[in-house]
């Protein structure tokens, strides 16, 4: 047994009383939480900093790990999309899989115990079946033309069955409103809702998305021209993208990712749905050189989670770096930020009974961090 005490202990929801000692069994699971007075002082290991559960990364693209340092920064999302298309398939399958494995290991070292991971292919499956990290794979579907909805959906279900057959957690997810028709979003939502599965969608990441849905010249017109796709049939609905697709989400639990250009009206509108708001601040800086208006979301602080996005759009898959940027550019409390890294993303992914909190009988990971001057620093993993 290990007996661990620190300056403060965060249980995934709140800070525990200062006298709290965690008792960890030989398997790394939480055995009990006792008052310091009930334990022989010679058995207690006292640490400087904050003990918290393992981190839950709500949004990642491990499949893009081979693109680290290959895509220029601050190109805007349409320019970034072109670079992804140019470079995604320039590496061998062996290199792609090796970089995924390396990214998985790096996340584990950085205290991440669970990940919501976007999948377009089966490249990450070998790593996921062997990983110490718990993955929920979101099979990302794209198809703006309604006529393609059935075909794209069927291809997604094939990959879903393949991943589910490996014993991994998986569901379907639309890519973004500018790349996925409402018909396809509705099909995805019905599929997930019937199975009680979560979904995810890239939401209002760029001003070009807002312009696209208001019929204003934007970078996506150029991107679709580059892809040689005719979108002359698309009629801008003259409303925000979120308002356009919101009803198509149905009743499924959905993670809205990025939200850099979400407005107060969008946020209020979405409160009618079962949505979580995921921020990936370093990716927003990398691509658009802009951060979301974090403080617009303070009334929804129990629905906010953090993600790393990909190594194509970030320099590290380190959730503490995301939390640090979020914390230092907002008015949220330490508890708010810690929840966004632990219990809230676990709830969004539907794994709250296993991860995100200090749960008796469970090994949900254990990390040591430090807060100083509205900055956060990762010290170490406490449970290997």
4-13, 36-45, 100-109, 126-135: segment of lowest average pLDDT: 36-45
pLDDT higher than 90, residue 286 = yes
Rounded average pLDDT over 375-379? 96
CA 384 remoteness from chain centre: 23
- Identify any residues that bridge with 380 across adjacent strands, giving them in sequence order: 368
| 57 in Cβ contact with 114 (< 8 Å) | yes
Q: Which CATH class is domain 55-355?
A: alpha beta
Give the integer Cα–Cα distance in Å for 83 and 307: 22
Q: How many CB atoms lie within 10 A of CB 248?
A: 20
10-35 as b/e: b if 16+ CB within 10 A: bbbbeebeeebbbbbeeeeebbeeee
- Identify any residues that bridge with 53 across adjacent strands, giving them in sequence order: 366
pLDDT on residue 226: 85
Domain ranges of the chain: 1-53+362-384, 55-355
Q: How many CB atoms lie within 10 A of CB 247?
A: 13
Percent of the chain past pLDDT 70, that is, above it, reads: 100
CATH architecture type of domain 1-53+362-384: Roll (2.30)
Question: What SS3 class is residue 238?
Answer: coil
pLDDT on residue 85: 87
Q: What is the rounded average pLDDT for all residues in the chain?
A: 96
pLDDT higher than 80, residue 384 = no
Question: What SS3 class is residue 210?
Answer: helix
pLDDT higher than 90, residue 87 = no
What six digits make up the tokens of 60?
């990642």
pLDDT bracket for residue 310 (50, 70, 90) = very high
What six digits make up the tokens of 142?
């794209």
Roughly how many angstroms between the first and final C-alpha of the chain, as a whole number? 14
- Chain segment 116-155, per-residue pLDDT in tens: 999 999 999 999 999 999 999 999 999 999 999 999 999 9
Give the integer Cα–Cα distance in Å for 56 and 228: 38
What six digits make up the tokens of 71?
């895509």
172-182 as b/e: b if 16+ CB within 10 A: bbbbbbbbbbb
- Chain segment 158-215, per-residue pLDDT in tens: 999 999 999 999 999 999 999 999 999 999 999 999 999 999 999 999 999 999 999 9
- Chain segment 267-284, per-residue pLDDT in tens: 999 998 999 999 999 999
Rounded average pLDDT over 246-252? 94
Distances (CA, A) of 29 to 33, 104, 250, 346, 361: 12, 22, 37, 17, 5
pLDDT on residue 26: 93
Give the integer Cα–Cα distance in Å for 117 and 136: 6
Percent of the chain past pLDDT 90, that is, above it, reads: 93
350 CB-near residues (< 8 Å, 6+ apart) = 136, 196, 197, 198, 253
Q: For 126, what's the count of Cα atoms within 13 Å in the CB-facing half-sphere?
A: 11
């Amino acid at each position: 047994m290990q007996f661990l005490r620190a300056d403060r202990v965060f249980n995934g929801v709140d800070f525990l009383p200062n006298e709290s000692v965690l008792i960890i069994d030989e398997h790394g699971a939480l055995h009990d939480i006792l008052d310091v007075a009930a334990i022989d002082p010679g058995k207690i290991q006292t640490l400087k900093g904050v003990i918290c559960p393992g981190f839950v990364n709500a949004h990642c693209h491990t499949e893009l790990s081979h693109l680290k340092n290959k895509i220029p920064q601050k190109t805007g999302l349409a320019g970034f999309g072109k670079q992804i298309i140019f470079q995604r398939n320039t590496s061998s399958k062996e290199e792609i899989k090796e970089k995924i494995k390396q990214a998985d290991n790096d996340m584990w070292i950085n205290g991440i115990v669970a990940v919501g991971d976007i999948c377009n292919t089966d490249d990450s499956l070998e790593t996921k079946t062997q990983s110490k990290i718990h993955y929920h794979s979101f099979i990302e579907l794209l198809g703006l033309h309604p006529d393609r909805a059935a075909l794209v959906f069927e291809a997604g279900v094939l990959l879903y069955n393949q991943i589910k057959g490996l014993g991994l957690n998986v569901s379907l997810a639309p890519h973004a409103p500018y790349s996925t028709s409402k018909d396809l979003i509705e099909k995805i939502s019905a599929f997930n809702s019937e199975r009680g599965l979560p979904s995810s969608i890239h939401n209002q990441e760029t001003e070009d998305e807002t312009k696209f849905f208001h019929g204003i010249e934007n970078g996506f017109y150029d991107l679709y021209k580059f892809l040689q796709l005719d979108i002359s049939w698309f009629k801008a609905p003259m409303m925000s993208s979120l308002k356009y697709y919101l009803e198509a989400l149905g009743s499924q639990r959905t993670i809205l990712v990025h939200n850099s250009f979400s407005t107060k009206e969008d946020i209020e509108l979405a409160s009618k749905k079962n949505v979580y708001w995921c921020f990936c601040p370093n990716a927003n800086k990398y691509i658009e050189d802009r951060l979301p208006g974090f403080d617009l979301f303070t009334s929804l602080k129990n629905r906010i989670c953090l993600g790393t996005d990909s190594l194509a759009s970030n320099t590290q898959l380190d959730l503490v770096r995301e939390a640090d940027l979020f914390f230092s550019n907002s008015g949220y409390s330490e508890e708010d930020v810690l929840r966004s890294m632990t219990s809230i993303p676990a709830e969004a992914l539907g794994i709250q009974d296993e991860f995100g909190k200090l749960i008796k009988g469970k090994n949900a990971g254990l990390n040591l961090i430090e807060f100083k001057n509205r900055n956060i620093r990762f010290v170490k993993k406490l449970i290997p």
